[in-house]
């Protein structure tokens, strides 16, 4: 048999043209890209819903811990307040035990010496420091104080009512002796207990003699 008589045996299928390949690939890419945004949107919504559920459950999941912390804080505040009150009470009791005069006695002494004002006290301070620049005995202090008060009030019989309370405080000083000298500020500070004035005025007087 002749090869010319059978021309179909030499026919080979031709490959696709490049243009058709490009079209098909572009079309596939477009179809795949068009389906992606929808899937991403669904997944983001699901994730957001899951996050919202987690946030809403944080308080409920830790409700027991939060309640326990609140109770613990209240207990600590009560204990701290109780200890503070106890300490203040102990300090007050210690002061009352060591104090020579009761606060009621001091208040009574002030109320009985209405004429002994802050101005009279300042005159006593000036006279004491003019005679004794730094120290003196208690007898010297008393003599100077009474002579100054009687001269200022023009009353030869003027005296400090219940003045023995001042004596009690001075005599309670460690190793007290009549002939021993003490700083003038010490005696003057004790004398302020008898001054008839407000608390602020007495504080000012103490700062003036300090």
The overall pTM is greater than 0.75 = no
Q: What is the pLDDT of residue 27?
A: 44
Q: What is the pLDDT of residue 82?
A: 76
Alpha-carbon distance of 164 to 161, in angstroms, equals 8
Q: What is the pLDDT of residue 187?
A: 95
- The model's pLDDT over 35-61, given as tens digits with 9 standing for 90+, comes to 444 455 555 665 555 555 555 566 667
Q: What is the pLDDT of residue 129?
A: 95
Task: Say how far residue 73 (Cα) sits from the centre of its chain.
Answer: 18
Q: What is the DSSP string of 82-151?
A: HHHHHHHHHHHHHHHHH-SS-HHHHHHHHHH-TT--HHHHHHHHHHHHHH-SSEE-HHHHHHHHHHHHHH
Task: Say how far residue 5 (Cα) sits from the centre of its chain.
Answer: 116
- The model's pLDDT over 119-177, given as tens digits with 9 standing for 90+, comes to 999 999 999 999 999 999 999 999 999 999 999 999 999 999 999 999 999 999 888 88
Alpha-carbon distance of 126 to 152, in angstroms, equals 12
- The model's pLDDT over 9-22, given as tens digits with 9 standing for 90+, comes to 445 555 555 444 44
Q: What is the pLDDT of residue 46?
A: 56
């Amino acid at each position: 048999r002749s090869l010319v008589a059978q021309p179909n045996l030499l026919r080979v299928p031709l490959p696709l043209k490049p243009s058709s390949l490009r079209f098909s690939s572009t079309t596939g890419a477009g179809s795949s890209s068009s389906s992606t945004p929808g899937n991403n949107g669904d997944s983001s919504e699901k994730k957001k819903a899951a996050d919202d559920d987690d946030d809403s459950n944080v308080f409920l999941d830790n409700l027991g811990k939060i309640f326990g912390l609140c109770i613990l804080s209240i207990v600590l505040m009560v204990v701290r307040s109780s200890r503070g009150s106890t300490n203040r009470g102990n300090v007050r009791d210690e002061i009352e035990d060591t104090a020579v005069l009761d606060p009621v006695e001091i208040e009574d002494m002030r109320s009985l010496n209405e004429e002994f004002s802050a101005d009279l006290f300042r005159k006593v301070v000036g006279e004491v420091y003019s005679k004794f620049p730094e120290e003196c005995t208690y007898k010297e202090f008393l003599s100077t104080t009474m002579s100054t008060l009687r001269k200022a009030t023009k009353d030869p019989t003027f005296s400090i009512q219940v003045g023995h309370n001042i004596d009690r405080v001075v005599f309670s000083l460690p190793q007290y002796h009549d002939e021993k000298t003490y700083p003038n500020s010490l005696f003057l500070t004790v004398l302020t207990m008898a001054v008839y004035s407000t608390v602020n005025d007495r504080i000012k007087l103490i700062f003036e003699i300090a």
